Structure 1
Amino acid sequence: MAEGLVRVVAWVPRGTEARLGELVQAERARRRLMVAEDPRWDTSGRTADERAAVKLARVAWLADLRGRGELLDTSAAVLALGVRGELAARGWDHEWPPAPETAVSGRWWGSRAEGFPERVAANLPVALVDQVRAACWHSSPIAELRAWRDRRPGPLRGALRAEYDQLAAGVKVPGEIWRGAYRRVLGWPSTHAAEDAQG
């Protein structure tokens, strides 16, 4: 049975969308050559049932290549490869307790990301998105931040604002992981590291 997909959106530095498009187009051209040159996928002289079986086998083969990160002909394949690498680099590539329902959508407590000019979307496996959300949630002081804020309602200024900012800096949000994933696969100048540190 196929695993479900969920759409994720990443706000990214300028130029990411173009780099992603270039990589995906190059990989699609490579895929066409791989399929054309492999005799397993030639359907000449075959019956309709045989052609259908060849197509199913080819689709499964391509999906396997994408899953292993050996074919990046879709934005989802690029992001999934990068996310797995980003989770591994952070030591988060293991099972986590589920994140609470409040972590599913919307802006997270302590999220500071602002100013990324481009938006890139891709459909990822539900299990991978759930792993990212759970890892971010359980690696962040969100409960502490909420409790701190409950004790200090109203506008924050001076030392209180600095204290809040320090606590909020420990919050890891899925957007950080999506950006890190694209950076890992596509690369971009280190000047964007400061932007990403905002969350």
Structure 2
Amino acid sequence: MSTAHVLLGLLTPQALHGYELKHAHDQRMPGAKPLPFGQVYATLKRLVRDELAVEVRHDREGGPDRTAFGVTERGRQELDEWLATVEPPAPHLSSMLLAKVVITLLVADENTARHHLAAQRAAHLARMRELTAIKIETHTALADVLAADLLIAHLDADLRWMQNVLDRVTELRLEVHQ
């Protein structure tokens, strides 16, 4: 994810202070890693330097000066280009789940491997239930629903993969131990 582009997108509808921008990110990107304030301000500084954003006003509301930032025409063009660029599918797996399954098959007996997979499946199913509950709440924000949908799809793919592993544990252990 390009933090600079995400911040440009969040600034496009209206100018925001760094503090507001951080909270807009965390609200609009539910499930994503929260953005540290330091990263917001460092990114804003680069956006201004590169003429993609500009200071639009300075406010003082009973505290320190706050600078609101807006997107320049050049910033909007950059954002449009980024949005139109297709993201390539990830070239490599980086899954702790895969690593644990492979290592379990290397070091544990078949029953232990099945037990670990069953426990992981139970955790995935519990998380899917939590996400489904979020989706059916009456005042759930659209961003939260979209994030829940994406997470559910990933969990579902993991569950299907784990079932495939469970169906082949004996065969996989034999292959690993040859």
TM interval, short-chain normalised:
under 0.3
Higher RCO (Cα < 8 Å, 6 or more apart): 1
Task: Specify which structure has the higher proportion of helix.
Answer: 2
